[in-house]
Amino acid sequence: MKNLDGDFEQAFVDNYERLVNSLTAIVGDRELARDSVQEAFVKASTRWRKIRGYDDPMAWVRRVAINRSRDHLRATERRRRRERKVIDQNPTLDPVDSDMVDAAIRLHDLLARLPPQQRAAATLYYLEELSVDDIATTLGITGGAVKYHLNQARATLRIVVERDRRLHE
């Protein structure tokens, strides 16, 4: 391990590639490893005065990077389970059906047009299938506010879809 008594930038330069290589071996995805290590160093930068006093500051960075990558992998697995559920419930769908991929891309594009609160409420309600109460808790707003945002999202999407339909006729 390189001497970490120096500044943060030197710790980054001395350890970044080694940590990426180790994490790549752990998670099997170099890009995820890079993202996770970068995020860990960003987090460390805000706490560096304290972290550099640890016996092994890179152990802290390594742990944060591993946790971040595991969180990402768990989220990816949850998404895959949801996708498998849709396919299992609709046996006529081909898992690589281009229409399904196109629909998913279209849905993402539609949701991206919504303001943040509407997008969050609609995503949690329609894709995550959370209840209004669960969405309220997640977003830290009231159930009435969730219903308002869902209503506004539906109204906005109705207009967008209708406008797009007219453009393609």
| pLDDT tens profile 15-33 | 999 899 988 888 788 899 9
Domain boundaries, the chain: 8-79, 96-167
User: Is there a contact between 156 and 113 (Cβ–Cβ < 8 Å)?
Assistant: yes
Average pLDDT value for residue range 56-82: 87
Average pLDDT value for residue range 11-16: 93
pTM assigned to the model: 0.49
- In three-state secondary structure terms, 6 is coil
User: Is there a contact between 36 and 70 (Cβ–Cβ < 8 Å)?
Assistant: no
User: pLDDT category, 43, cuts 50, 70, 90?
Assistant: very high
Q: Which two tokens stand for residue 9?
A: 């930038």
CATH architecture of structural domain 96-167: Orthogonal Bundle (1.10)
Say what the pLDDT of residue 145 is: 95
Q: Which two tokens stand for residue 128?
A: 């995550």
Please indicate whether residue 25 or residue 8 has the higher confidence score (pLDDT): 8
